[in-house]
Amino acid sequence: MTNPPITPELVRQHNLTPEEYEKLKAILGREPTYTELGIFSVMWSEHCSYKNSRPLLRTFPTKSPRVLVGAGEENAGIIDIGDGLAVAFKIESHNHPSAVEPFQGAATGVGGIIRDIFTMGARPICSLNSLRFGPISEETAGIAGGQSSEAGGQPAGHAGAGQRNGAAQVENNRRLFSGVVAGIAHYGNCFGIPTVGGEVYFDKCYEGNPLVNAFCLGVLRHDQIVRGAARGVGNPVFYVGPATGRDGLAGAAFASQDLTEESAEQQRGAVQVGDPFMEKLVCEACLELLATGAVAGIQDMGAAGLTCSTCETAARAQTGIEIDLAKVPQRAPNMTPYEIMLSESQERMLIIVHKGREDEVKRIFDKWDLPWAEIGRVTDTGRMVVRNGAETVAAIPAKKLADEAPVYEREAREPERFAALGAFTLSNVADTQEAACALKLLLEWPSIASKNWVYRQYDHLVRDATIVSPGSDAAVLRIRSDSLAPTPDASSGTAPTGRLVEKYIALTVDGNSRYVYLDPYEGGRIAVAEAARNLACAGAVPLGTTDNLNFGNPHNPEIFWELREAVRGVADACRAFNAPVTGGNVSLYNQSPNGPINPSPTVAMVGLVEKPEHITTQWFKDEGDAILLLGDIVDWADPLQGLGGSAYLQRIHGLKNGRPPRCSLEKEKDVHLALRALIFSGVVKSAHDCSEGGLAVALAESCISHQVARETPRLVGAQIDLDAALKSLERQTTGSEAAAQPRPRLRLDALLFGETQGRIIISVAPLSAVKVLAQAKLLGVSAMRLGTAGGHTLQIRAGGGVSECKVDELHDLWWNSIARTMQ
């Protein structure tokens, strides 16, 4: 097959600018071959090179005494958890592929992140996901108690929170949602690791461009860490796993351009096809091979496939690599070198083997009935040389290709809408007259409603290590002896050795894009703070963070400003919580013809629970328990009293406006430390953070979210008196500096549904309440009693009135909302 001539139009089709093409030629010292042009196009794409975001990523905190493998060093970061054990974890996106082929796009996103983990020598033990879709209901975003969805207007640039969603678009959103969830379930369930948590949001800005972020965590001993480097000149290079096909062709480049109907149709072939059963075999074979000590380096063939795995391993080791494509297993006839190098067929690995130990690779992969081929060797040339039989089709300096892509400092400009955001007030927003009705509307809103329709499709109990399943603030897993990959043994070759000290890991994933849209810096801080708060509610101390930055086109100065400010917020908060960023993913160009998505940084955080008795869940436990609030009931200095950017404003009034609540990182840290101290003392029965929907929704969830594997949910009501709590607060502050400042009138909707940060609802035995309040005061944290658990209703006394709802009715609305919508 004749290769096309290299023309300016062909260069443009490969998403390379004229300046980038000139740099390419300068590196080569000549015109590129067609295969080389394709190689540069994928390696210099945003997806692989981070050329628009790399300067920002350098601002993240990446070091701590626990970090064993840091951000950017390898396929995933690794954190020490004590006693010679460590966890490897990372989150990555598969947004564009999921928009085109939701089932395979999501499934292969899971497969790709699993490979990143076992490539490090770790056994994958669980996964999480963060998903965003357009609305799955045709109902207009909220009208309750006669309140108009047009009150106050929208900031410029918003896609329209209060508009009715068209039936055809809603149906497409449901198709994408259903397909993505099915794809995640298929791959994780078949591979055999539990999907233990995640988040799902629905918003009009994601129509046509859903977000699918997949996280995986694995466990290993310190001495099992392996590197993705082509070390040892003369060492053979092995290709292992299924044969290469044309699926996934140039997927990295597809992920680095705007998503349109035309590009989606043209790039349908850029979506990979996954085989989770094959990946399970590849995983077990690789872990067994790693235990022999025969491996000098290993890398999965993910984005950019064979191209990325060869040049990156050579660049890391500062060596060269030479491969022969004629030896690469191929399942499609007449594949060209261009297609073989750019294919992203799944479940494939590149392994550099110590010379003389080739037979061990062949023995193990034959045992697992897996294809293998010796396709090349490590050289000392510093070049990636690709041959196709006798013909050389590419010869490129590996380090310049992998590490020296162009880096851009894009123009940043604050969006014009921020002037309107600062001027927004609640003067045109009527206070709630139907609090119970508003609570029900919030609980059945798909973004807040129970996600059991999603996670019931996942096997979250496989491997029998899940202690806290989906449905609480954070998932918790027990690390046991079978969580580890095999280690060398003199007699049998591969067998676990040594006694394992059991560990307890908590995980969560968070990100509120409304906040980031309205204030990227504050929204970035809140995403991290909420993740740390969720871990604290589970009884865990944060260890590290991995993030997925989902944004629109960085060439737009307003979007790049959002990205820069969100990164600054995430970085500041990670420093505050001593939760360094160990790696992650940047996904740009997330926009459809309707416009860009809301800026959506996703934060996954991992924590350590020291003792099993410290593990805490969010639901109320016993009748008569005292219900307490840690943190300030409202931020009196916030003119919007926590309603800015709230779920209440969007759901009830159709508004996405106002400055979001402020996040005091110092106060957050104090509240988390106080909560953990109380948990460690053994007095806390439940802990649940206040986030979307505010205090009323958090109280309702504490009543109705009881989740224990294979047990019928037990609903526990609550009798709440916020009027009495506020009076108690007034008495506590009498004569203080705070009391000397006149406080504004507290709106009822703000009290119930405002999203003031740094608040956690806990329940304790009635005899412990006074002691806990005193301990909180000694720890410098605001605390108050809200009421008592028990009964069959959630009764809230506030603003001189009483709102009362049956908990079984609230549970039905919350638990079945998504299932009813998807019928």
Look at phi and psi of residue 235 and say left if phi exceeds 0, alpha if psi is from -120 to 50, else beta.
beta
CA 798 to chain centre: 37
Tokens encoding 677? 């101290």
In three-state form (DSSP H/G/I as H, E/B as E, the rest C), the secondary structure along 132-167 is EECCCCCCCCCCCCCCCCCCCCCCCCCCCCCCCCCH
Q: Using an 8 Å Cβ cutoff, are 532 and 577 in contact? A: yes
State the catalytic residue, choosing from 14, 47, 354, 688. Answer: 47
Please state, in angstroms and rounded to a whole number, the distance separating the CA atoms of residues 222 and 79: 10
Tokens encoding 810? 């609230």
What φ, ψ does residue 631 adopt, rounded to 5°? 105, 170
Please state, in angstroms and rounded to a whole number, the distance separating the CA atoms of residues 48 and 706: 43
> Residue 158 catalytic?
no
CB atoms within 10 A of CB 409: 9
Tokens encoding 657? 């406006």
Q: Using an 8 Å Cβ cutoff, are 152 and 162 in contact? A: no
DSSP state of 11: H
Please state, in angstroms and rounded to a whole number, the distance separating the CA atoms of residues 196 and 214: 12
What φ, ψ does residue 727 adopt, rounded to 5°? -65, -40
b/e burial code for range 103-134 (CB count within 10 A of at least 16 → b): bbbbbbbbbbbbbbbbbbbbbbbbbbbbbbbb
Tokens encoding 397? 């300096």
Q: Which amino acid is at 815?
A: W
Strand partners, 388: 391
State the catalytic residue, choosing from 94, 158, 460, 614. Answer: 94
> Residue 96 catalytic?
no
C-alpha closest to that of 335 among 384, 282, 393: 393
DSSP state of 756: -
Q: Using an 8 Å Cβ cutoff, are 209 and 79 in contact? A: no
Please state, in angstroms and rounded to a whole number, the distance separating the CA atoms of residues 68 and 88: 10
Beta strands in 174-243 (DSSP E): 195-202, 211-221, 236-240
Residue 636: helix, strand or coil by DSSP?
A: coil
Burial class (CB in 10 A: 0-12, 13-18, 19+), 208: buried
For the annotated catalytic residues, the residue numbers are 47, 94
